[in-house]
Amino acid sequence: MIKPHLELTGVDMAFDTPNGPFLALDKVNLKIRKGEFVSLIGHSGCGKSTVLNIVAGLLQASRGGCVLDGHEVNTPGPERAVVFQNHALMPWLTVYENVELAVRQVFRKSMGRKEKRDWILHNLTLVNMQHALDKRPGEISGGMAQRVGIARALAMKPSVLLMDEPFGALDALTRAHLQDSLMTIQQELNSTVIMITHDVDEAVLLSDRIVMMTNGPAATVGEELTIDLPRPRNRVALADDPTYVHYRQAVLSFLYEKQTFPGKGDPVTSIAEPAPSEAAPAAPAIVVESTPLEPQQRAIA
């Protein structure tokens, strides 16, 4: 068998919490081919983001590891670009400058000034955002900002594109539109994608394979489902395609029959768990002192 492009082997992840270590992931194994589109699906708090962050290098696995093209992943890097759930654009930079920040950093030496500019514009055109180059993230809609986030990630020419619920915060129409663009772009570039989603339809429509995770703690890969639907895929035509419906059923049955949502009184309850990774780092103790300053200032202004 050919060597996989990306491979996770025996990944455990234990978080240090005040109540002792918390085992979030237990022996996660995953092999991904080049150009494959993989969706991670599972109940909230099961550890999907943790898997993605380990591949991104933003978290270090407690045991086991992740190998990309024969190299072990230890630190974050632009070859594993991340599209964050809430776009994570720098609010003080314009759309163009946000992509520019990435392009200047990644292709500092290898591209000329004109080449960089063309490359930035090319990627923004790809996501259909060339009309708002000088707008700031605060001045564009959530869907537009998310597109810029995708353009920024694509502009890094990543070997793997990591997406953590990229369309989670969007309305259904924008979402469908972005899913279609993502499918087109992915087919053109043949990029490897790992995408986290809560949406079963999204997973079946976009993926070559759906990786379903068991409930935490000590979550792991429960089932894998290869989606053998021809591309390009059309959401309307697929809606009552029996194969599509079958795949959809399979994922739903995994989620709602085999892995029911962690119930009340169950120690697994994700809500009661310690702060998730997205939480802001503890600010220094002096924080408290300064808070009264601001309202006071506002009042004067």
Ligand X SMILES: Nc1ncnc2c1ncn2[C@@H]1O[C@H](COP(=O)(O)OP(=O)(O)OP(=O)(O)O)[C@@H](O)[C@H]1O
Q: Does 197 bind Mg ion (CB under 5 A)?
A: no
Q: Does 60 bind another protein (CB under 8 A)?
A: no
Span near ligand X by CB under 6 A; candidates 37-45, 116-124, 129-137, 246-254: 37-45
Tokens, residue 86: 């809430």
Q: Does 39 bind Mg ion (CB under 5 A)?
A: no
The site partner of 80 among ligand X, Mg ion, another protein, none (C-beta below 5 to 8 Å per kind) is: another protein
Looking at the DSSP assignment, which residues form a beta bridge with residue 68? 6, 71
User: In the window 28-57, what residues touch another protein (CB under 8 A)?
Assistant: 56-57
- Radius of gyration of the chain from its Cα atoms, rounded to whole angstroms: 21
**Cα distance between residue 223 and residue 5, in whole Å:** 20
Residue of 236, 271, 293, 299 that binds another protein (CB under 8 A): 293
List C-alpha distances in Å: 170 to 8, 43, 182, 234, 273: 30, 19, 15, 20, 26
**Nearer to Mg ion among residue 49 and residue 98 (C-beta):** 49
Tell me which H or E stretch contains 81. Answer: strand 80-83
Collapse the DSSP code of 279 into the 3-class scheme (helix H, G, I; strand E, B; otherwise coil) and give the result: coil
Collapse the DSSP code of 126 into the 3-class scheme (helix H, G, I; strand E, B; otherwise coil) and give the result: helix
Minimum distance between the CB of residue 52 and Mg ion, rounded to whole angstroms?
A: 8
Comparing CA positions, the residue from 268, 284, 220 lying closest to residue 22 is 268
Q: Does 262 bind ligand X (CB under 6 A)?
A: no
Residue window 193-232: x/- pattern of binding to ligand X, with contact defined by CB under 6 A: -----------------------x----------------
Residue of 39, 50, 146, 186 that binds ligand X (CB under 6 A): 50
Q: Please, what is the angle between helix 113-126 and helix 95-106, to 10°?
A: 130
Residue of 86, 130, 159, 181 that binds another protein (CB under 8 A): 86
User: In the window 238-277, what residues touch another protein (CB under 8 A)?
Assistant: none
Residue of 39, 49, 179, 259 that binds Mg ion (CB under 5 A): 49
First to last CA, the chain: 68
The conformation of residue 90, written as its DSSP 8-state character, comes to -
Residues that bind ligand X (CB under 6 A): 15, 17, 22, 24, 42, 44-50, 216, 270, 273-274, 276-277
